[in-house]
Amino acid sequence: MLGFLLKRLGAGVVLVWVTATATFFLTNATGSDPARRIVGPQADAATVLAKRQELGLDRPVLERYWDWLTSAVHGDLGVSWFTNQPVGGTVADALPISLSLVVAAIVLTALVSVVIGVVAAVRGGWVDSALQGASILAFAVPNFLVGLLLALVFAVQLGLFPAIGYTPFAQDPGLWAASITLPAVALAIGATATVATQTRGSMIDVLGQDYVRTLRSRGLPTRSILLKHALRNAAPASLTVLSLQFIALISGAVVIEKVFGLNGIGERATSAASTGDVPVVLGVVVLTVVLVVVVNLLADLALGWLNPKVRTA
Amino acid sequence: MTAPLLEIEDVVVEYPLRGFRQAPARVLHGISLDILPGETVGLVGESGSGKTTLGRAVLGLAPVTGGEIRFRGERISGIGTKARRALSRDIQVVFQDPYSSLNPAMTVADILTEPLVVAGASRADADRRVRDLLDEVHLPQDAGQRLPREFSGGQRQRIAIARALSRDPAVIVCDEPVSALDLSTQSRVLDLFIEIQERTGVAYLFITHDLSVVRHISHRVAVMHRGELVETGDAAQVTSDPRHSYTRTLLLAAPVPDPARQAARREERHRLAAARA
Amino acid sequence: MSLLSDGGPAAAAAPSSSVAPTAVPPRAGVARRFLRKPVAVASVAWLLLVAVLAAAAPLLTSASPTASSITNALAPFGGDSPLGTDGLGRDVLAQLLYGARTSLVGALIVVAVALVLGLPAGVLAGYYRGRFDAAASWVANLVMAQPAIIILLVVLAQFGRSTELAMLVFGVVIAPGVFRLVRASIIAVRGELYVDAARVAGLSDPRIMRRHVLPVVVAPTIIQMSQVLGIAIVLQAGLEFIGLGSANQASWGGMLNDAFAKIYAAPNLLLLPGLAIVVTVTACSLVGNGLRDVLGVGATPPVRRRSAVRAVGPVVEDGRPSSGTAPAPDDALLRVEGLRVAYPEPDGGEGEVVHGVSLTIRRGEVHGLVGESGSGKSQTAFAVLGLLPPQAHTSATTLTFDGGDLRGISRRGMNQLRGRRIGYIPQEPMSNLDPSFRIGSQLTEPMRHHLGLSKAEAKAKAIQLLDRVGIVDPARVFDSYPHQISGGMAQRVLIAGALSCDPDLLIADEPTTALDVTVQAEVLDLVRDLQAERDLGVLLVTHDFGVVADLCDTVTVMRAGEVVESAAAAQLFADPQHEYTRSLLAATLEGGPARAALTTPAGGTR
């Protein structure tokens, strides 16, 4: 088990490195001259040259890469080309907002989808039909549209939640919860449909297995067969889908943050992308991929706990 | 003395294991066996004995890492894919599972003509041959237009036999071809095998776990245990008066449909086990 | 397995082993069946309509989708702009029509790129495995770990806003999904024996690929592409919504962006582009679902009303006559008379697979239930245990265990008998142990439930049982997981489980069929010893007359759901009464003559 985790950790480190390197070269070795972009089209050649020297863009790309990588390993992600703010700080300020959103959404997804998936698999009937219909709809309605509708109904019409803005947890936990409820729900709906469909499918698979019939032949109560044996065996597949959904949630959060005026990673990334602020974009990429690696590791840990073949290997 | 059709000489099969410098898993530990033209050699063993692997080695589907296999005196183990394809005319196969050995999306006629078309037969010739083949395995003529799923296990096995026969092979590797069938179907399919052999002179390497099947169909029997050959001999001798103790255990373990005789055999088996302990 | 091979008429045709996506590839009739699905047809019609409208946009409106006129902002329906104008005075109809172009073209770019990258890579990786597979899978995992929008942000930051470029990149991002699906399908089909058979038949690799392998990939890939179309439209709208679509290009997502800016002034601007996206993407999913139903790939069918885990509904009373003879002795442990099992059929009727079976088992008697596949023997055993699938319809004139009527018994009442007084030994040892729990936990759970034992007591008893069934190191096996023990050991564990609460009746469904003969002999010895030791009644379902001869006191022979003969074992073997029994006994090869050694090679001209 420990060997398995170390292997996955190693793979995670490689993933971060490869992603960061690919992004670095994509953003530093291609495209138009960033110095020209920053100083504007009216500036003369001397200004552009000065800017290029200031940013160190006149140095060979490999040298810049090495500098960037060694600083990044030490936690220094460089400085924004436009605001001169350190990227690390900018990103770190935005992180709690996005993290609150994504974590709340994933927890919501996990809880709701297990309940719906199990009920649909076991009870069948209208719950099952409703899940099938809802999952098609949840797939078809873009999450930002869901967010807009939720904001219109629950924030604007009913005034139950704030329509925009974020309150830090440390400032007021109640307001914090209120400020992320609607965005998290909007974000979670699509993921919930996917994970619930997977849970339903794997529960049906497991319930058709020989060992479930044998457990029934032992006269065990239905509750124990369902919630102890069947769910345990169906869980790994759902967990795998859930960890993939986490990645999709990060994507979704970038859009949802705009709807709810949350100044999170997505907002920073979007504005950096539209201005071409390469250090910030790079910082965001590194941060998200680290986040993905951490979540994958947690998922591996849980999978190892659920699946004795992994644990005893 | 006729020259052997197929010679298996000291064959070793090993599968590489995952992991750095891991010694490969050796499934066959040097097997030697001959098959004469028109002969059935029964290969008996329990699961994990390597009997199926030996069959796959003859078919070129398992890696022969030591020794060699010869067909009519020519080495056929470790040859290139092109030379291997040329052997398809002479060496054929009938697998155990009548469900997964036929492509469910193809009609029976397509399944039967495939080897012929590959060999360059014209469509018309191939269609004619299908009629003959269906006849040979006692299936109705309209079977050609139907899909495998419309047939029972026994009928599917007949289709698989017809496919194996389509190019008049010299030897057919039969890998547990009747194990998945019901008893009554089983004996009819075995009789079909014998009938075809008597008519065409094809040789069989007949792999099975069932000593009574092997006794019924084989001229000679070879017994495998943990990747080694423990006993070879005429069918009557190996299946009624085995020399090796493992063969004897195998023989006594299979229950016979007669309560009194079975009780006696059980006694004998217990005695044998007690004596060994 | 036994349920399948012995099951209803539909089950007889179904290959029991193929769980992999090796569905029947499209053949004639698929189109016809698809056309019979109104929802799918309507969805295709909608997608075609959108395509036609998008293509014909310049013919349908003279307005420019991008020309803004501040003076004419937020115009109502009718007039020059039939659907009004947006916050910048742009014509809504024109934006919808031209926006459809953007959406469809973008989605098609994604599908094309994903297919071009994913399909060949998946085919090669799945068919040849090895290093290419390792490398391609590594890259696929790498790409799948990246949030799509982040990748798109990087690319757009570098190369400027462009919807087409974004869709091209998104195609790359989604290609691993295609790769993995194709690869998995190919690996599954590659394990099929018919691919080996084709190789032995002399087919070249490209030919095997074309004839046997690729057709299997077609159906799941088409279905996946219908989903990818929808995903692409949604993602594209998201990008445009956050303002990263091509500048000066009408798009549904762009319309939503504009509507968002005016959300208080004119919330109804959300409606049309929102609907356009939702309906179009829904249509994509529904086309995919329709194809999946028609092609029979991968979907789990809807679950019937009744729980899949629950016992069957009570066996109902039945007054019809029964086949077979039942002398009805007073000391009967199990009495079955006129047992019928039927399954609903697609045409709405019912197909009966067990037609009024009767049998009686006394305490201490081993009763063999013999028949070939499809004879209904396993169905009979499961009906007694109440373990048939929920859709089975079971009835009997008499069904008693130790004098108590099992017909109409509650689930709770049945659960007090099962495991406690009636033990069950299944056929396949490995698939009948829960892979996620230790053997000890699986053994002790019923004992603690039925007998109220403490954890320590249950453990002590379980270890004692494991020892009794001949397991050499019971303490180690107690702490093992099922995958750590052999099949023969697993079967001993299951026998221990069946006996753990000291039942009176044991129902064994082909308990040795999956085992090697030498292991079979040991397991039969074990069952015989335990039966004698505990004076158990045993219902032994088997197809093997040798097993019957070894173990049974009385025998019932079944054919096609009916009892043909029932007698004491010695009598049945010595003097079978029914023609069918005689033919079955005659079919056994045992005791027949061995084939003579080959003298002259038959037809040895070859």
pLDDT (tens digit per residue) in A135-185: 888 888 999 999 999 988 998 888 888 888 888 888 888 889 888 999 999
**Closest A-chain CA to C19:** A205
C521/B99 Cβ within 8 A: no
- State whether C470 and C485 are in the same domain: yes
Residues of C in contact with A299 (CB under 8 A): none
- State whether C473 and C544 are in the same domain: no
Q: Touch between chain A and chain B (3+ CB pairs, < 8 Å)?
A: no
Closest CA to C261 of A220, A261, A140, B262: A261
Give residue C107's pLDDT band: very low, low, confident or very high (50, 70, 90).
Answer: very high
- State whether C479 and C441 are in the same domain: yes
C161/A274 Cβ within 8 A: yes
B183/C543 Cβ within 8 A: yes
For tokens 């079919």, name the residue: C587
CB A186 within 8 A of CB A256: yes
C601/B219 Cβ within 8 A: no
Among the residue ranges B180-189, C299-308, C337-346, C474-483, the one predicted with the least confidence is C299-308
- State whether C332 and C409 are in the same domain: yes
* Residues 101-160 in B contacting C (C-alpha not used; CB under 8 Å): 101-106, 114-115, 118-119, 149-150, 153, 160
Give residue C308's pLDDT band: very low, low, confident or very high (50, 70, 90).
Answer: very low
C289/A136 Cβ within 8 A: yes
Query: Tell me, what's the pLDDT at C320?
Result: 57
CB C186 within 8 A of CB C217: yes
The 10s digit of each residue's pLDDT in C249-295 is 889 998 998 888 888 778 788 889 999 999 999 999 999 888 888 87
The 10s digit of each residue's pLDDT in A64-108 is 899 889 988 888 888 888 888 898 888 888 899 999 999 999 999
Number of folded domains in chain C?
A: 3
Query: Tell me, what's the pLDDT at B273?
Result: 86
Share above pLDDT 70 across residues of chain A, in percent, rounded to a whole number? 98
How far the first Cα of chain A sits from its last, in Å, is 7
- State whether C113 and C152 are in the same domain: yes
Q: How far is C248 from chain A (nearest CA, A)?
A: 16
- List beta partners, residue B204: B40, B172
Residues of C in contact with A294 (CB under 8 A): none
A230/C309 Cβ within 8 A: yes
Which of C30, C472, C580, C598 is the best residue to mutate to test the B interface, defined by the most B CB atoms within 10 Å of its own CB?
A: C598
**Closest A-chain CA to C481:** A308
C437/A232 Cβ within 8 A: yes
C426/A122 Cβ within 8 A: no
Domain presence at residue C68: no
Query: Tell me, what's the pLDDT at C296?
Result: 67
What is the CATH number that goes with domain A96-312? 1.10.3720.10
Q: How far is B267 from chain C (nearest CA, A)?
A: 11
- State whether C496 and C394 are in the same domain: no
- State whether C410 and C513 are in the same domain: yes
Residue C311 has pLDDT above 70, yes or no: no
Residue C563 has pLDDT above 70, yes or no: yes
> What are the backbone dihedrals phi and psi of residue C559, each rounded to the nearest 5 degrees, phi first?
-145, 130
B119/C573 Cβ within 8 A: no
**Closest C-chain CA to B262:** C550
Domain presence at residue C368: yes
Among the residue ranges C253-267, C320-334, C498-512, the one predicted with the least confidence is C320-334
Q: How far is B269 from chain C (nearest CA, A)?
A: 9
List CB contacts of B274: < 8 A, sequence separation 6 or more.
none
DSSP for residue C325: -
The 10s digit of each residue's pLDDT in B38-94 is 999 999 999 889 999 999 999 999 999 999 999 999 999 989 888 999 999 999 999
User: Structural domain boundaries of chain B?
Assistant: 1-90+173-181+205-277
Query: Tell me, what's the pLDDT at C455?
Result: 94
Residue A11 has pLDDT above 70, yes or no: yes
Query: Tell me, what's the pLDDT at C534?
Result: 92
- State whether C584 and C489 are in the same domain: no
Residue C101 DSSP SS3? helix
- State whether C444 and C411 are in the same domain: no
Closest CA to B173 of B202, B133, B135, B141: B202
Interface contacts (B, C; CB < 8 Å)? 215
Interface contacts (A, C; CB < 8 Å)? 259
- State whether C291 and C408 are in the same domain: no
Thinking of the domain B1-90+173-181+205-277, which architecture would CATH place it in? Answer: 3-Layer(aba) Sandwich (3.40)
Which of C211, C378, C606 is the best residue to mutate to test the B interface, defined by the most B CB atoms within 10 Å of its own CB?
A: C606
B171-175 and C404-405 as β-strands: parallel, antiparallel, unpaired?
Answer: unpaired
* A298 vs C316, higher pLDDT: A298
The 10s digit of each residue's pLDDT in C328-367 is 556 789 999 999 999 988 787 888 999 999 999 999 999 9
Q: What pTM was estimated for this model as a whole?
A: 0.85
Residues of B in contact with C204 (CB under 8 A): 81, 85, 118
Mean pLDDT for the stretch of residues C538-548: 94
**Closest C-chain CA to A229:** C434
Query: Tell me, what's the pLDDT at C331?
Result: 75
Mean pLDDT for the stretch of residues C201-212: 90
Q: Which of B118, B200, B235 sits opposite C207 (nearest CB)?
A: B118
Share above pLDDT 90 across residues of chain A, in percent, rounded to a whole number? 41
Please, what is the average pLDDT of chain A?
A: 88
C520/B253 Cβ within 8 A: yes
B255/C544 Cβ within 8 A: yes
Query: Tell me, what's the pLDDT at B1?
Result: 59
Residue B194 has pLDDT above 60, yes or no: yes
Which of C24, C200, C542 is the best residue to mutate to test the B interface, defined by the most B CB atoms within 10 Å of its own CB?
A: C200
Query: Tell me, what's the pLDDT at C515?
Result: 87
Mean pLDDT for the stretch of residues B182-200: 91
Share above pLDDT 70 across residues of chain B, in percent, rounded to a whole number? 98
The 10s digit of each residue's pLDDT in B210-226 is 999 999 999 999 999 99
Say yes or no: B256 contacts chain C, CB-CB below 8 A: yes
CB C180 within 8 A of CB C122: yes
Q: How far is C206 from chain A (nearest CA, A)?
A: 34
Residue C312 has pLDDT above 80, yes or no: no
A221/C449 Cβ within 8 A: yes
Residue C183 has pLDDT above 90, yes or no: yes
A288/C147 Cβ within 8 A: yes
User: Structural domain boundaries of chain A?
Assistant: 96-312
Q: How far is C171 from chain B (nearest CA, A)?
A: 31
Query: Token digits for B153?
Result: 């296990």
Residue A8 has pLDDT above 70, yes or no: yes
Query: Tell me, what's the pLDDT at C83?
Result: 76
Query: Tell me, what's the pLDDT at A308?
Result: 84
Residue C91 DSSP SS3? strand
Q: Is A311 left (phi over 0), alpha (psi -120 to 50) or beta?
A: alpha
Residue C20 has pLDDT above 60, yes or no: no
CB A138 within 8 A of CB A130: no
Which contacts (CB < 8 Å, 24+ apart) does range C83-91 have? Answer: C83/C272, C86/C255, C86/C258, C86/C259, C86/C262, C86/C269, C87/C258, C87/C259, C87/C261, C87/C262, C87/C265, C87/C266, C87/C269, C88/C258, C90/C65, C90/C66, C90/C250, C90/C258, C91/C61, C91/C63, C91/C64, C91/C65, C91/C67
* C560 vs C157, higher pLDDT: C560
Give residue B20's pLDDT band: very low, low, confident or very high (50, 70, 90).
Answer: low
Residues of C in contact with B199 (CB under 8 A): 603
- State whether C475 and C381 are in the same domain: no
List CB contacts of C421: < 8 A, sequence separation 6 or more.
C401, C402, C501, C503, C504, C505
Residues of B in contact with C28 (CB under 8 A): none
Closest CA to B212 of B233, B240, B184, B188: B240
ipTM rounded to 2 decimals: 0.90
Query: Token digits for C508?
Result: 């064994």
Transcribe A138-162 into DSSP letters: HHHS-HHHHHHHHIIIIIIIS--S-
* A2 to A290, B254, B265, C479: CA distances (angstroms): 21, 46, 52, 20
* A18 vs B16, higher pLDDT: A18
Neighbours of chain B (3+ CB pairs under 8 A): C
* Residues 10-39 in B contacting C (C-alpha not used; CB under 8 Å): 36-39
Domain presence at residue C540: yes
Give residue C306's pLDDT band: very low, low, confident or very high (50, 70, 90).
Answer: very low
The 10s digit of each residue's pLDDT in B83-128 is 999 999 999 999 988 888 999 889 999 999 999 988 888 888 898 8
CATH number at C106 reads 1.10.3720.10
Residue B156 has pLDDT above 70, yes or no: yes
Which of C158, C286, C509, C541 is the best residue to mutate to test the A interface, defined by the most A CB atoms within 10 Å of its own CB?
A: C158
- Full residue range of the structural domain in which residue C153 is found: 2-61+83-295
CB B96 within 8 A of CB C209: no
Give residue C14's pLDDT band: very low, low, confident or very high (50, 70, 90).
Answer: very low
Residue A249 DSSP SS3? helix
Residue C21 has pLDDT above 70, yes or no: no
Query: Tell me, what's the pLDDT at C604?
Result: 43
**Closest C-chain CA to A197:** C300
